[in-house]
Each structure stands twice: as C-alpha cells, then as structure tokens.
Amino acid sequence: MVNLKTLALAAAAPSTILAGATPNNKVGTGINIATLDLSNLRLSSTASAPGFDPRSKKATRDVLPTETEGELFSRNVIGTDNRVNWNQTVYPYNAIVKVEYIWNGNTRVCSGVLIGPRHVATSRQCAPQFGETNNSYKFMPNFYFGERFPSAGMINWYMDMQSFGDCNVRDDWAIFILNRRLGQELGYFGAKNFDPATQLNKGQMFNYGWPADKSFGWMQPTRQDQISVQSIGTGCEGGGSLRTNTDAVWGQKGGPLWAVENGDRWCYGVLQDEDRTDYTPFAGGSKFVAAVIKTRQDYP
C-alpha cells in the first residue's frame, strides 16, 4: 500500500492517489488498480476548479430563490439546531446528491456533491475500502421522498490512501466517476482552497445533506446557512481540516461546505465527522482541489 505524503502543489512533489476500477458498479475480487498521478500538476495555492451553473445559459430566470436570495435563518446560539428541511428543485441544490450504497448487505446513506460533469465528491469513509466486495452505489440528485431526477452509478473512484485517523482528516475525501453526466445536466460546484486570512469566522458558508434525525429516515434534505469555519486543524494534521459550527448527524457525512462568491458556488470541503460535539470537521485542501482538476481532465 502506498503511504502518500501531502502534495506540495507549487512544487509538484510526486503523489499518486489509488483507485479501484469497478465495472458494473460493483467492487469485487481481483480489482484492477488504477492511479491518479498528481505529480505533473503545477498549481498555485490559489488554484481552483470552476463550477457550472446551468441557469447561466437561460435567457430568463425561471427558478425559485436560491440561498442568497431567499430567507436566511439566523444562528441563535452555538449548539442550537439550525438545520431546516429544504425543498427547492433548482441549482445549486440539484447538484447535491444522496449517496446510497450496500455494505455487508446493509443499506448505508451519505451525502455528496457534483463537482464536475460526471464527478461526485463525498467522504472517503463513504467509499469502498480495498478488499471489500459487493458494494453497489447509487447517486440520487436532490432526493426528496423519492428520486426526482435521473440517478447514476459509478465506474471508478479515487481517494487518498493514507490511513484513517485524526492526523488525516484533511484528506478524508473521495471522488467518484459516474456512469451518467449528471453534472452536465444539473450543474456542478467549483472546488477551491479555503483562505483563513479572509474567511475565518465569517458566517458565510452553507451545508446540505440527508440527516437521519430530521428527514424521516433520510427521505428529505436539510440546509443550514451562516456556517462559520472557526479554526483550522492543528497538531498532527499540519494545516488540516476545516473546523466548523455545522449541525450534523449520521447521513450528512460527505455533504458539501460551500460559499457563494460573485454568484458562483465554491465547495471548500466535504463533511468528515458527524459525531463530534465540539466542532464539525470538513475534509478539503490543496490535494482535494488538485484531484478535482485531475479527475475532470482524465474523465471529461
């Protein structure tokens, strides 16, 4: 197994992310290992992967209010549950997916975000681990008491092969390649590095996902606004995860943390741990952005 070191994007340090080829949307024995080599990417610390808003090609607006135009729900006190059940069939919400997969015969649920024309970002903990078998996946955009848009399976996935644990929270993400171009149909988010100098404690972030406690068994999504990144992971993380005041429970793992900048939606990471009581971390960073750029290039 490869033990990856953090990719220094400006210096183009050698780095390879492993993936398992998954024909027929299954992870089986005899996996054909593929690699995602980031070593040739020479990116600055401000590099980004732009998103796609399908409404930008419409001559007239015919959509419901979006997160910057509709009612904002204020955060009262830290610890108060500010998630709200949300039902809007419009970008950016159509570009957020319920991830359903079978693990050891049991159905599991995560959340994820379309991050390219046929690419989904979610938590690495929601991805198949090597050696696991018979894991089938289904990606359902903006699921609400049923499928409202075409769903997709996956043909491949990429994730960092570092071990799990508190020291690797920042890179605890995965990118799936879909067998349908959902992002091209419904839009997708951009990916960007978080800037602590200008974005800490601003209360300008959003999260969306399918929690177990407020959605009748993962049947409807919730949205939370005015989220703040309060600190960056320290210690062995080495400039790591985004520590937020997001309200989260099981089912929201993998959902996006995003902000609206000049009308564009930028994903800064995916929800990594929904069990903590002191903060909710999101995985993201320079290697995440590089992997989004590279998977878009390799799987256009």
Q: Would you list the domain boundaries of the chain?
A: 9-298
pLDDT band at residue 275 using 50, 70 and 90 as cut-offs: confident
Task: Tokens for 221, please give them.
Answer: 């999504």
Residue type, 89: T
pLDDT greater at residue 278 or residue 181: 181
CB of 38 within 8 A of CB of 294? yes
* 112 three-state secondary structure: strand
Residue type, 147: E
Mean pLDDT of the chain, nearest integer: 79
Q: What is the per-residue pLDDT for 77?
A: 33
Task: Tokens for 291, please give them.
Answer: 């992997």
pLDDT above 90 for 62: no
Record the pTM. 0.82
**What region, left, alpha or beta, does residue 295 occupy, with left being phi > 0 and alpha being psi -120 to 50 degrees?**
alpha
Task: Note the residue count of the chain.
Answer: 300
Range with lowest mean pLDDT among 62-71, 141-150, 179-188, 260-269: 62-71
pLDDT tens digit string along 152-198?
999 998 987 666 677 778 899 999 999 999 999 999 999 999 999 99
Rounded Cα distance between 28 and 20, Å, is 9
- Kindly report the backbone phi and psi dihedral angles of residue 138, in degrees, each rounded to the nearest multiple of 5, phi listed first: -140, 130
pLDDT tens digit string along 5-31?
222 222 223 355 555 443 333 433 333
Q: What is the per-residue pLDDT for 224?
A: 95
pLDDT band at residue 216 using 50, 70 and 90 as cut-offs: confident
Task: Tokens for 67, please give them.
Answer: 């997160």
Question: Which residue is associated with the tokens 């005015």?
Answer: 226
What's 52's DSSP letter? B
pLDDT band at residue 55 using 50, 70 and 90 as cut-offs: confident
pLDDT above 50 for 69: no
Question: Which residue is associated with the tokens 């910057």?
Answer: 68
Top-ranked range on mean pLDDT: pick from 75-79, 135-139, 228-232, 233-237? 228-232
Query: How many C-beta atoms lie closer than 10 Å to residue 220's C-beta?
Result: 18
Q: What is the per-residue pLDDT for 104?
A: 76
pLDDT above 90 for 32: no
Nearest to 296 by CA among 193, 194, 185, 178: 178
Which CATH code fits 9-298?
A: 2.40.10.10
Q: What is the per-residue pLDDT for 196?
A: 93
- Kindly report the backbone phi and psi dihedral angles of residue 269, in degrees, each rounded to the nearest multiple of 5, phi listed first: 170, 175
pLDDT band at residue 146 using 50, 70 and 90 as cut-offs: very high
Rounded Cα distance between 50 and 157, Å, is 21
pLDDT above 50 for 61: no
What's 256's DSSP letter? E
Query: For residues 178-194, b (16+ Cβ closer than 10 Å) or e, as one string?
Result: bbebbbebbbbbbbbbb
Q: What is the per-residue pLDDT for 28?
A: 35
Rounded Cα distance between 194 and 259, Å, is 10
* 196 three-state secondary structure: helix
Rounded Cα distance between 84 and 225, Å, is 9
Range with lowest mean pLDDT among 7-11, 131-135, 243-247, 290-294: 7-11
